[in-house]
Chains A and B, each alone.
Chain A
């Protein structure tokens, strides 16, 4: 930072001298002598000529400077003419830098490269920035304005003023004004100008603006300007804090939806059936490994359709995990109904065996699960950065939640589940096959865990221990939200996710998690039945 500042100051001083010496002459002059000057006098000569070229403010100079930037600008030894040379076989093909006219081939020994050092490179991009401000293309002008904002090159100020006078596009205009303000603040200016620039930058309100404003507030400007800058710093900081909070909220929502996915299945088996399934995490793991297998099939047989692999993996994971769940219910859990602590132990045993089974089949190391193209990348929304993968998981989690809610409330199967949980003998008497409903309900919960596995395979390591990382969190979500209440699970997951992410910046990830755990422990002790407790005589028994 400090070095950059020093460089800006040096650049500015030099530019002032150059402007003083050449401004009147350069504007009228033909560009050609200036281009010619690029090839003489070593770095200093090139730099001086470059500054004059930008002062001239003629967009025709842009290709020349771009060639200089790309390292394509050469001096022909024969006559000292500055030319653009590009490799053509063993030789160079020469063109005129300004007109682009073909100047014929030249042996590689016949030309000398115009050398560029780091200082020059910065000057080049600054002057390119200044010159492209005049481009007829609005997008080019805009990025040029942004370039000036970053370089804060004082030599661009006149061009910038000229460009602003002509600018009609409001977005580009704003960018230019901000660039101008940045230049003014860096270079120093009269009090009203400084204050106007401070106001402009306050409107921009990002980290770059904050850095500049902070510099002004600490600089030797007038008190009025300094206090204006300080106020602007405060308002920008507030705005940034707002976006940071929003970003945290997004991270929290994202983590919350992961927790929700992991916990929904548990809300069915634990919340609705009252079965403690410690192998729930392993159902998630099975879903993730199913995704891996489906992707392997796609890689081997239809690599072109790889983007669809996740869509195939979803039903596959649901069926595989659901099938394993039904098998577990029929073989073990049905003998243990009404004995939750024994169920807990038996399913823990199953989870150990399932982990070891997967470890024996697939090996202990992580398996590679790829992301389809529509799930990679990110986009910006205001001050937020949102990755597509996370966005899809949030959408998916809510979709699964809504589907389950509708299925339980509106379908015959859902009605049977509720009937069996509320009054088993009566449901039996009315012809509902309770054993089958039990098995299918458990299968449903496990299948949803499998779906969670597909989503988690996108953001977590697919290893035999995948499920272990989620089981405690999932239980916390269900218990925190209130057992037997799907909405409670939703609110619980989002609350815990957000709480976690808001604690992280202050306490760090591990301590944050510990604090959340302690919070839940205290919370459960205050409200043993969770956030959305069922009240009344029924639950007190």
Chain B
């Protein structure tokens, strides 16, 4: 497989903090339109992997290419986001002093330079797009509420909505169903499956039933590198995975 056809290409990526190897020679390939679930024990490097892809952490070694050509290790967070990589955090992070509508408006794909935002006036298309996302995330009735006053689950949905508004090519989703009810979890799985195809998605999740509901290829991380890759059933049967993560 050559790097040119891939959407995201990680090769031999290592990061260490004060001697602790958070990522150890990690390699991973994502194709356009693919959805991937990533599982692994705490400290396996799942969040650090997202950090190096989005530019928050610089890797000590290794290559990270986006769309086969752009070297992400040299770019700052904002530039990487503008290439089309969106991220949802483990702890839902929304702009609490702003309304739900304003949160989506800020996330909406539009020119990002200060002078453009100073003179920005929302147009018909943008309004329709926000309405659409409000529908998808079931937040329409709460559009004028301050984001800070939403429940935990609603904040998760709002953040997913913001991710959609960005229209990224690749979505990195960290534990999207933490703190959600079973029904909400199911809806989230549907939503993410709907997104895949148009966009590529990487989901990090502990909830096995959610991962099963996604029904996609699974990568198991342990101690900063890939332990196993394949369908959920296949990796669940892998003895190494059972030892380090699932338990007997």
> A contacts B directly in the complex (CB < 8 Å)?
yes
Interface residues of A (CB under 8 A from B): 535-537, 540
B11-42 interface code vs A (CB 8 A; 1 in, 0 out):
00000011010100000000000000000000
Interface set, chain B 47-65, CB cutoff 8 A to A: 48, 56-57
Residues of B within 8 A of A537 (CB): 17, 22, 48
Bound: A77/B43 CA distance, A? 110
Bound: A535/B56 CA distance, A? 14
Q: How many Å from the CB of B19 to the closest CB on chain A?
A: 9
Residues of A within 8 A of B48 (CB): 537
Q: How many Å from the CB of A532 to the closest CB on chain B?
A: 13
What are 10 sample pairs from A and B whose C-beta atoms fall under 8 A apart? A535-B17, A535-B18, A536-B17, A536-B18, A536-B20, A537-B17, A537-B22, A537-B48, A540-B56, A540-B57
Bound: A537/B18 CA distance, A? 10
Bound: A535/B20 CA distance, A? 11
Residues of B within 8 A of A540 (CB): 56-57
Residues of B within 8 A of A535 (CB): 17-18
Number of interface residues of B (CB under 8 A): 7
Bound: A92/B56 CA distance, A? 97
Q: Which residue of B lies closest to A534 (CB)?
A: B18
Bound: A76/B18 CA distance, A? 94
Residues of A within 8 A of B56 (CB): 540
Q: How many Å from the CB of B78 to the closest CB on chain A?
A: 17
Residues of A within 8 A of B20 (CB): 536
Q: Which residue of A lies closest to B56 (CB)?
A: A540
Q: How many Å from the CB of B220 to the closest CB on chain A?
A: 22
Q: Which residue of A lies closest to B22 (CB)?
A: A537
Q: Which residue of B lies closest to A536 (CB)?
A: B17
B114-148 interface code vs A (CB 8 A; 1 in, 0 out):
00000000000000000000000000000000000
Q: How many Å from the CB of A485 to the closest CB on chain B?
A: 13
Q: Which 8 A-B pairs have the closest CB atoms?
A: A536-B17, A536-B18, A535-B18, A537-B17, A535-B17, A536-B20, A537-B22, A537-B48
Q: Which residue of A lies closest to B57 (CB)?
A: A540
Q: Which residue of B lies closest to A538 (CB)?
A: B17
Q: How many Å from the CB of B167 to the closest CB on chain A?
A: 28
Bound: A437/B57 CA distance, A? 35
Bound: A536/B48 CA distance, A? 11
With A536-B18, A537-B22, A540-B57 given, can you name 7 additional A-B contacts, CB distance below 8 Å? A535-B17, A535-B18, A536-B17, A536-B20, A537-B17, A537-B48, A540-B56
Bound: A535/B57 CA distance, A? 12
Bound: A537/B20 CA distance, A? 10
Q: How many Å from the CB of A535 to the closest CB on chain B?
A: 5
Q: How many Å from the CB of A309 to the closest CB on chain B?
A: 48
Q: How many Å from the CB of A540 to the closest CB on chain B?
A: 8
Bound: A535/B18 CA distance, A? 6
Bound: A344/B57 CA distance, A? 31
Bound: A535/B60 CA distance, A? 14
Q: How many Å from the CB of B227 to the closest CB on chain A?
A: 22
